[in-house]
Amino acid sequence: MTKHVAFLLFPACAMSLGWAFRGFIGGGPLGAMIPGAMVALALAWLLAMDDPAAGEEVSVRTGMVAAFGAVGIGFGGQMTYGQTVGLASDVATMPWGLLGLTLKGAIWGLSGGAVLGLGFTIRRYSRMQVAAALGAMLAGTWAGWRWVNVPKLIYFSNRLDRPREEMWAGLLLGTVALLVVLLAIRWNAPMLRFALASFVGGGLGFGLGGALLAAGRNSTLNPEFWPWWKGMEYTFGLLFGLALGWAAWRSRAELAEQRGARGPESAEEANRPSGRLLLLASILLIGAAVPFEYAGIFRFGYSIVGVTLLLVALRSETLAWHIAMTMTCFAFLMDLAEAYYGDLAIGPMWAGVALAVTGALVFWKAVERLRVAGRDRLPRMFLLMTSTAFAVTTTSSAMRAWYGHPSYAEYAMFVAATLVVWRICSRLRGAERLSARSSI
């Protein structure tokens, strides 16, 4: 596999699988952190941003990049699109529904690509400048939501049947505000390239995926054997990830300047009292952020949570890793608990929450081991996230089958997609080992 092909294929397949995970074991913005974390880790791996052969001096804060990817892709999860899919599936309203899906996918791509691009180029700005830009994004999100979405000036859901409150204009204006502030401070071609490429990839992915879903729903094929909704998710993730991979490939020389940032914290640093306090803070932060989003106190509550998390990631590499990894894992474990201990009532909800917390603590410990180990950290973090999500997907599929709601076709797609991603990982690691031996 050539380097060029790897830059396109790996993030595309990783994000496609991540998006399928999101639709099965997660939902909303917290679920969207799964493909966000996966694609950020995949791109950082390809860019050799945590190269152990080069030594700690040239190692970048890859945990922060992963956090910006997870949170950045999560922002778009605040948009509602279920009724938009319904409009796209009805022949009478299909053009308007497909336009809405394309627009929402493009905005999702724009916001996620911009924040991930900022994570990759964070050294170009001071912390205060980034904080000001994130503040502008929050203000723009509120303004777009309040002035366009609330009065339904342009509306892509069903006005007549349980109308949904949309967020696309808020996310659009918020992302534009973020880009304007940062580009006014300093020109940043890679960040803009990530944002615009994802705008195109996200729009094409959601629009094309919606068209395929609409065609499937209007066909005579049995939906139990042809999971059209899943196909939409795979398509969206594939083209979104392909766009991010292209942007990373085109920006690889400029992103090389990121190397030379402060190296990762060492094991000794993590074991100091201050390090232990940071780890305790990570548990408290994640424990507070996930329920806050589930409570739905604000329509754009995740924007508030997300900006807070990004500001924290700027200050601490330790917390950044746990925002990207542990928080994402805890969210989909909570989703599993809610589905089976809440909706199906197979036991008391407190037992489901206890299991989710226990699983998250085990995952947290695994992240800590990899974080301080340093060597092969990015591949192992990527495989940890993918394997854990696949294990939870397998558990959920088995429980659905047990309770009379089998999803055999969907699970077969998960197995096939996961094997493809793992095969790509194996090829990449093999190429790295070969390169290391030839350099000796």
pLDDT-wise least confident of 156-165, 234-243, 383-392: 156-165
pLDDT at 50: 60
| Separation of alpha carbons 414 and 388, rounded Å | 13
Tokens of 103: 């627009």
Residue 433: Cβ-neighbour burial (10 angstroms; 0-12, 13-18, 19+): exposed
Residue 35 above 90 pLDDT?
yes
Q: Please choose, from the candidates 127, 116, 22, 133, the residue with its C-alpha nearest in 3D space to the C-alpha of residue 70.
A: 116
Distances (CA, A) of 434 to 49, 90, 231: 19, 54, 36
Q: Find out whether 106 and 206 touch, Cβ atoms under 8 Å.
A: yes
pLDDT at 210: 94
pLDDT-wise least confident of 98-107, 196-205, 329-338, 412-421: 329-338
pLDDT at 366: 94
| Separation of alpha carbons 31 and 67, rounded Å | 14
Tokens of 377: 């950290």
Tokens of 362: 């085990």
Higher pLDDT, 317 or 41: 41
Tokens of 169: 């204009």
pLDDT-wise least confident of 87-91, 132-136, 345-349, 382-386: 345-349
Q: Find out whether 431 and 439 touch, Cβ atoms under 8 Å.
A: no
As a whole number, mean pLDDT of residues 303-331 equals 91
pLDDT tens digits for range 257-310: 665 444 334 444 444 545 566 666 666 666 666 666 655 666 778 999 899 999
Q: Find out whether 45 and 379 touch, Cβ atoms under 8 Å.
A: yes
Q: Please choose, from the candidates 50, 72, 63, the residue with its C-alpha nearest in 3D space to the C-alpha of residue 116.
A: 72
As a whole number, mean pLDDT of residues 201-222 equals 91
Question: What is 299-346 written as a DSSP string?
Answer: TTHHHHHHHHHHHHHHH-HHHHHHHHTHHHHHHHHHHHHIIIIIIS-S
Nearest 5°: phi and psi at 299? Answer: -65, -35
What percentage of the chain carries pLDDT values higher than 90? 61
pLDDT at 59: 44
Structural domain boundaries of the chain?
A: 3-438
pLDDT tens digits for range 269-282: 444 545 566 666 66
The DSSP code for 146 is I
Q: Please choose, from the candidates 240, 230, 244, 247, the residue with its C-alpha nearest in 3D space to the C-alpha of residue 417.
A: 230
96: amino acid identity, one letter = W
H helices within 126-167, ranges in order? 127-144
pLDDT at 87: 94
